[in-house]
Amino acid sequence: MRIRMLIAVICGLWLAVPPAVADDMFRDDHPERYTVESGDTLWDISERFLEDAWLWPEIWHVNPDIENPHLIYPGDVIVLVYIDGEPRLTVERGERTVRLSPETREEQLEPAISTIPMEAIRPFLSRSRVLDEDVLDSAAYIIAGEDERVMASRGDSIYVRRLPDEDQDAFTIVRKGDPYVDPETDDVLGFEATYVGDARILDHGDPGTARVASSNREILPGDRLVETPTDPIRTEFQPRAPEQDVAGYIIDVMDGVTQIGQFDVVVLNRGEEHGLEEGHVLSVFQAGREIRDDVAGETVTLPEERAGELIVFRVFDRLSFGLVMRAERAMNTMDIVRTP
């Protein structure tokens, strides 16, 4: 189906100029009305109505009588209506608690709901990084902690070599992880740079002295100090298909799980160089297994099976992080991702 959309994203909801809407976009068991609850996401609500949740922009109809209809809050009601004979979803404002300051300014006690569950991806938005090997190998590094201790934690002093000459005082401490290898070319696409903590430089000598400002694990000699990201953390995403065909693989899964399911974070061997952007939705296909056909005396590859959908939420040059939003069956590394 040809998609003709003008999309404006305001706090995670999308205003669309949609094409003709087919009833078969909707689930057979869709409700006529749904009251938004705390903890809901736009994707959750879309799944109650639509076969493919990420197609929400095509059927959203803005109610012009509502101030700021792009924002949905707990207590609002999502309603299925027909406009010119075509099904649309719109919002009715529900009862919400507000706080009035002495200046009589109205303030929402609960924020607008997000597009996807932010708690699932927040640790990977700013702290998990992918860096080139030469960047890690040339970075400043820790040689020792205070009092001859091997490990350091928050508040401890650490000694650092190879600090840059410029007057930079704040650094992020990372630990070089395993390489991400492209299964198609065997190229190293980057290295996992695991967040360890933050440090502030006290003395720029060689070795220099720094104070650990925060840490989420013990800091070891050999850990690297890299520039702290200054870009704002993205918290809203516009789900949409890539503008070009993308095909790649899941090459890793975060947090040490073996089987991949809903709300797991995965690493893809496709990134900005391949046309991926934050918010792109990809279909996941379980790779066909190879089995032995004893009758024919040959090895046969079984067909691929659709396994679910993911949304890309962070993009690097040749890699990206995705969040599995729907899992119809168990997924594994080396499963295939494609433009839906």
Q: Using one digit for the tens of pLDDT, what is the confidence trace for 228-244?
A: 877 777 778 889 999 99
CATH superfamily to which 247-338 belongs:
FlgT, C-terminal domain (2.40.10.410)
With contact defined as beta carbons under 8 Å apart, do 305 and 286 qualify? Answer: yes
Q: Which of 1-10, 27-36, 69-78, 120-129 has the highest mean pLDDT?
A: 27-36
Q: pLDDT of 261-289, one tens digit each? A: 999 999 999 999 999 999 999 999 998 88
Least confident of 56-70, 173-187, 200-214: 56-70
Output the CA–CA distances (angstroms, integers) from residue 333 to 195, 261, 266, 301, in the order listed.
23, 12, 9, 17
* Average pLDDT score over the chain: 85
Which positions ≥6 away from 6 have C-beta within 8 Å? 15, 16, 17
The pTM assigned to this predicted structure is: 0.80
Return the HEC string of 67-123: CCCCCCCCCCEEEEEEECCEEEEEEECCCCCEEECCCCCEEECCCCCCCCCHHHHHH
d(CA 305, CA 284): 9
Q: Where are the domains of the chain?
A: 8-108, 123-227, 247-338
pLDDT score for 21: 52
